[in-house]
Amino acid sequence: MAKGTLTPRAEDFPRWYQEVIALAEMGENGPAAGTMVIRPWGYGIWELFQAELDRRIKEAGAENAYFPLLIPESFLRLEAEHVEGFSPELAVVTHGGGKELDEPLVLRPTSETMVNSFFARWIQSHRDLPLLLNQWANVVRWEMRPRLFLRTREFLWQEGHTAHATEADARAYSLRILRDVYESTMVEVASLPVLTGHKTARERFAGATRTWTCEGMMGDGKALQMGTSHELGQNFAKAFGITFANAEGTTDHVWQTSWGVSTRLVGALVMGHGDDFGLRLPPALAPAEVVVLMIKEDPDVRAAAEALVEEVRAAGHRVRLDDRSETSFGRRSVGWELKGVPVRVEIGPRDLSEGTVTVVTRHLRKKENMALGGAARAVCAILSRVGTELMEEAIAARRERTADVTTLEEAVEAGSAGFARIGLGALGADGEDRLAAHALSVRCLQRADGSLAELGGTESDLIAVVGRSY
């Protein structure tokens, strides 16, 4: 793990990504093709994401529940578009307890069919609405081009499922999740700027009437779909017979939403902020915000290091002591840099005899020699700035790679290197087909000012954001 081990991003971005995931000890391939082991550093980031998302989901009124992994194959067939979208990706259990099963069981690729079979029983009256549930779970989709954290045959996610009395209420909730849960976490916690908008019919979730999305731009200019919130209309309600007696005493089908984000967010963090030396973590998502490195074992060094750890911890930060003096200092230092720990403090006997320590700010790769006495305060001050600075950098990079264009040819050129913004009218009826021929797609539709296209307004006001997607 010596310096310069990583392939430069500009040379081969996918290879750089793979190397960061491996060398930062975030994840590895599992023994079954396409599966993934999430190692503690990767899982620690996911746990911090989870806590932030879970708090916001609960603030939005949804409660956690858990539905079975194993879905009878017949359930999937009940919603026509849904089965068409998911059947090529299914994994099927045919044997249990040493016997062949009467009906094969599918491993959930998503849980709309399972959840809605219960909603049909639990919902009777408008008093049961809205019903707002979420689950944290693993799902299985037989992806053909797996890639750690981005697209694996098993991944971890949360999936929300809700039922409402009116279309307006369902839409409002779908947008609430998009903004107050997803966009808020991505922007305020992960320091990743995202575009929000809705998908074209072509890119919509199988079974949805509208798919809202958060799209991020990665370090190579490509787009990553980071989270989606779907309006399902009454499609599943009709397929599963989810009806309720409304306040007027007549019967109606519910209006629904579903929404999810996954361990893909960990991949987004790597590709959104990483540099040629590894990962760069915003403190809010760093399993360790600060590492205090003892350059060598020595009583004075240990005393100073432990005191500093305590002081930074008392200020409310996650901090680790690295006293593995059996491993070379250089190797440890590069290791923490690869892992993206926001601040490193290096304490050795020579500096210490002069009362100083070295403080390294990871995202700037800036080394400062400073007095031991002021180090804790300086570390906290640096931590308070990292998130904002990473965000500013990401916004500037995106701005540089985004172009407003007026023709499809220009959209192809600009979209191949970043995002092209083009009026929906200029894109034309066959625009998406023509983009697809260049491996491009419309990532989202939004208003010219970047705001969400909500109720009202006409299609002609919309801008299509074109890019190359993961």
List interacting residues with a second copy (CB under 8 A).
28, 30-32, 35-40, 43-44, 46-47, 63-72, 75, 87-98, 104-105, 107, 114, 117-118, 127, 133, 137-138, 140, 142, 144, 153-154, 156, 324, 326-327
Cβ pair 65, 115 in contact under 8 A: no
Spatial separation of the C-alpha atoms in residues 235 and 308, rounded to whole Å: 58
Cβ pair 261, 53 in contact under 8 A: yes
Q: Please identify, using beta-carbon distances, which residue of 87 and 416 lies nearer to a second copy.
A: 87
Question: Residue ranges of the alpha helices (H) in 257-407?
Answer: 264-273, 299-314, 329-339, 349-353, 372-400
At its nearest, how many Å lie between a second copy and the CB of residue 114? 7
Q: Please identify, using beta-carbon distances, which residue of 44 and 278 lies nearer to a second copy.
A: 44
At its nearest, how many Å lie between a second copy and the CB of residue 148? 12
Q: Please identify, using beta-carbon distances, which residue of 13 and 46 lies nearer to a second copy.
A: 46
At its nearest, how many Å lie between a second copy and the CB of residue 105? 5
Spatial separation of the C-alpha atoms in residues 256 and 245, rounded to whole Å: 16
26 Ramachandran zone, left/alpha/beta (phi>0; psi -120 to 50): alpha
At its nearest, how many Å lie between a second copy and the CB of residue 64? 5
288 three-state secondary structure: coil
446 three-state secondary structure: strand
Q: Please identify, using beta-carbon distances, which residue of 171 and 332 lies nearer to a second copy.
A: 332
Q: Please identify, using beta-carbon distances, which residue of 33 and 436 lies nearer to a second copy.
A: 33
At its nearest, how many Å lie between a second copy and the CB of residue 163? 14
Among 85, 145, 127, smallest CA distance to 110 is for 85
At its nearest, how many Å lie between a second copy and the CB of residue 319? 15
278 three-state secondary structure: strand
Lookup result for tokens 């016997």: 99
Spatial separation of the C-alpha atoms in residues 232 and 219, rounded to whole Å: 33
At its nearest, how many Å lie between a second copy and the CB of residue 133? 7
At its nearest, how many Å lie between a second copy and the CB of residue 103? 8
Question: What is the crossing angle of helices 264-273 and 372-400, to 10°?
Answer: 90
At its nearest, how many Å lie between a second copy and the CB of residue 134? 9
Cβ pair 455, 430 in contact under 8 A: no
Q: Please identify, using beta-carbon distances, which residue of 120 and 357 lies nearer to a second copy.
A: 120
411 burial level (CB within 10 Å; 0-12, 13-18, 19+): buried
Q: Is the dihedral of CA 331, 332, 333, 335 positive or negative?
A: positive
Q: Please identify, using beta-carbon distances, which residue of 152 and 358 lies nearer to a second copy.
A: 152
Q: Please identify, using beta-carbon distances, which residue of 277 and 329 lies nearer to a second copy.
A: 329
Q: Please identify, using beta-carbon distances, which residue of 52 and 183 lies nearer to a second copy.
A: 52
Q: Please identify, using beta-carbon distances, which residue of 239 and 414 lies nearer to a second copy.
A: 239
248 burial level (CB within 10 Å; 0-12, 13-18, 19+): exposed
Q: Please identify, using beta-carbon distances, which residue of 128 and 252 lies nearer to a second copy.
A: 128
Structure tokens at 184: 């808020």
Please list the residues that pair with 359 across neighbouring strands. Answer: 345, 368
At its nearest, how many Å lie between a second copy and the CB of residue 304? 24
* Per-residue exposure over 55-88, b if at least 16 CB sit within 10 Å of its own CB, e if not: ebbeebebeeeebebebbbebbebbeebbebbee
Spatial separation of the C-alpha atoms in residues 146 and 150, rounded to whole Å: 8
At its nearest, how many Å lie between a second copy and the CB of residue 235? 20
At its nearest, how many Å lie between a second copy and the CB of residue 277? 24
Q: Please identify, using beta-carbon distances, which residue of 127 and 366 lies nearer to a second copy.
A: 127
What are the CB-based long-range contacts (under 8 Å, 24+) for 252-255?
Answer: 252/165, 254/119, 254/123, 254/129, 254/163, 254/164, 254/165, 255/163, 255/164, 255/165, 255/166, 255/167, 255/169, 255/170, 255/231
